[in-house]
Amino acid sequence: MSTGVLGTEKRGIRELGAEEKVGWDEVTRGVVLDSFEGDATDIVHKKAEERNYSDFNSYTATVASWRIIKPVYNRDICIDCQNCWVWCPDTSIISRDKQMLGIDYDHCKGCGVCVEVCPTNPKSLLMYSEATDNDEALAGWPQKEKKEKK
Amino acid sequence: MAITSIKNLKEFSTANDRFEGSHLLCPGCAHSMIVRELMNATDDNLVIASNTGCLEVSTAVYPYTSWDTSWIHIGFENAATAAACAESMFKARKRKGTLPNPDAPVKFVAFGGDGSTYDIGFQWLSGAMERGHDFTYICLDNENYANTGGQRSSATPVGAHTSTAQAGTHSYGKTQRKKDIVSIMAAHGAPYVAQLAPNKWKSMAKGFQKALETEGPCFINTVSACTTEWKFDPKDTINVTDLATDSLMFPIYEIINGHELNILYRPKNVIPVEDYLGAQGRYKHLFKPEYRHVIDMIQKEVDEKWELLQRREEARV
Ligand code: SF4
Ligand code: SF4
């Protein structure tokens, strides 16, 4: 039985489409992009590599082409303070079990914030041109800067 | 509620991000720093509503979404409304016993920029605060309509150049004051209202956790430095935010139950506002001799506001 778009059987109930009748507390899904395949209830306890991302999740996309400069990470100097992790705007610092592991170059846009907030001397992250080979960058890493005595 | 440990950054960094990369916000955008931190501060399920603004248009560009939680995309004025409706529906269904998973902890959050919060969604925000929904509204305050070309909003401070309040031979940019949204929200008698900044990550995470834990409507204004419209190098987002909090242009404080004010950050060395203004292209013109008086005026107002906050904190009224 159709009651028309605005016809109501009972207050607050409105027909949406031919079959579905929903109340105010049952809203239809509308246009929904699922971020995951299958059950996503415990996602908060799963690390990225344990998750079943759907093709709609921007995690599966890349913005690497935005970059003209990139951060290079030097494990030898890093103190795992996690400054870079907390302030990276693009979820591109890979930290696991309190350790900084490296840069996610699929999602990094090369903003340089991580280098600015890195507290070590010399820095454990430095910006290089996108074309630079990471090993070469590491081989020529700057030495500790001496503070000038006043 | 399940909160993440924020004792120190190492502990905090074990949180599993629920805001994914390859969103389309500008490089160095503070919006995503703030959103990540909110989502990392809790283990609870989140239902988030975003209204029109940079965050909304950049994080759900078909066919992609950057949100690993329930997220509602809604029109310019309606972040508060959407979050409030979702919260009401949740409560009603819980009461009726029609929730498939009634014991799952859920928190309701709304994100809006300053355009939607201070201007276009102001009335709807006020309504949701007054009705007392159990949700947290977070304003990402970058002091302009950055998504549409940097027009002035009522959050734009005096002296800033914007595309609709231009600096030139006859104008020093915006001539009107920034609206004091924090006081307005506190005046609603909301249980928790705060102004926070991403450079002070710990006070921000604590504030977020407090707001999520508090029953009733909470409001947080966050300082979101905008590399594109404030005109600074993307790498300097945190540096500029440091200047903002240390010059007291953005004091960090909370107001509990509409009256109890606590200052959450006291800079060891307060720097002159000039240092903050000088780091951004949008204030460049103020350094010309004919507009120097505007800097003095801004400094005076910042000093007065700081004095007021300290006195209010002391008075506990
Ligand atoms: S350059 Fe920017 S986007 Fe890339 S890892 Fe560093 S902070 Fe993140
Ligand atoms: S900010 Fe620097 S020292 Fe700290 S974790 Fe990152 S790379 Fe390591």
Tell whether A2 is covered by a domain.
no
3-state secondary structure of A96: strand
Average pLDDT over residues A11-16: 42
Tell whether A149 is covered by a domain.
no
CA of A111 to the centre of ligand 1 (A): 5
Tell whether A28 is covered by a domain.
yes
Tell whether A82 is covered by a domain.
yes
Distance from CA of A97 to the nearest CA of B (A): 6
- Which of B7, B20, B38, B106 should one mutate to test binding to chain A, selecting the residue with the greatest count of A CBs within 10 A? B20
Could you name the CATH architecture of B3-315? 3-Layer(aba) Sandwich (3.40)
> What pLDDT, on the 0 to 100 scale, is given for residue B96?
95
Q: Which domain holds residue A60?
A: 14-138
Q: Give yes or no for residue A17 having a pLDDT over 60.
A: no
Residue A33 pLDDT class (50, 70, 90 cuts): confident
Average pLDDT over residues A73-94: 98
Tell whether A150 is covered by a domain.
no
> What pLDDT, on the 0 to 100 scale, is given for residue A146?
79
User: Residues in chain B with pLDDT < 50?
Assistant: none
Chain B residue numbers with beta carbons less than 8 Å from the beta carbon of A36 are 68
Model pLDDT for residues B120-142, shown as the tens digit of each residue: 999 999 999 999 999 999 999 99
Tell whether A113 is covered by a domain.
yes
CA of B268 to the centre of ligand 2 (A): 25
CATH number of the domain residue A67 falls in: 3.30.70.20
From residue B191, give the alpha-carbon distance in Å to each of A60, B2, B194, B216: 40, 20, 10, 7
SS (H, E, C) B174-218: CCCCCCCHHHHHHCCCCCEEEEECCCCHHHHHHHHHHHHHCCCCE
Distance from CA of B269 to the nearest CA of A (A): 20
CB contact residues (below 8 A), chain B span 149-208, against chain A: 198, 201
Q: How many domains does chain A have?
A: 1
> What pLDDT, on the 0 to 100 scale, is given for residue A20?
57
Residue A149 pLDDT class (50, 70, 90 cuts): low
The ipTM (two decimal places) reads 0.95
Ligand 2 near A125 CB (within 6 A): yes
Average pLDDT over residues A88-108: 97
Model pLDDT for residues A125-144, shown as the tens digit of each residue: 999 999 999 999 999 999 98
Q: Give yes or no for residue A57 having a pLDDT over 80.
A: yes
**Do residues B83 and B108 lie in contact, with contact meaning Cβ atoms separated by under 8 Å?**
yes
Q: What's the CA gap between B274 and B283, in Å, rounded?
A: 10
Question: A95 at the B interface (CB within 8 A)?
Answer: yes
3-state secondary structure of B107: strand
Average pLDDT over residues A99-113: 97
Q: Whose CA is nearest to atom 6 of ligand 1?
A: A114
Residue A16 pLDDT class (50, 70, 90 cuts): very low
Q: Give yes or no for residue A5 having a pLDDT over 60.
A: no
Tell whether A147 is covered by a domain.
no
Q: What's the CA gap between B133 and B197, in Å, rounded?
A: 25
> What pLDDT, on the 0 to 100 scale, is given for residue B316?
84
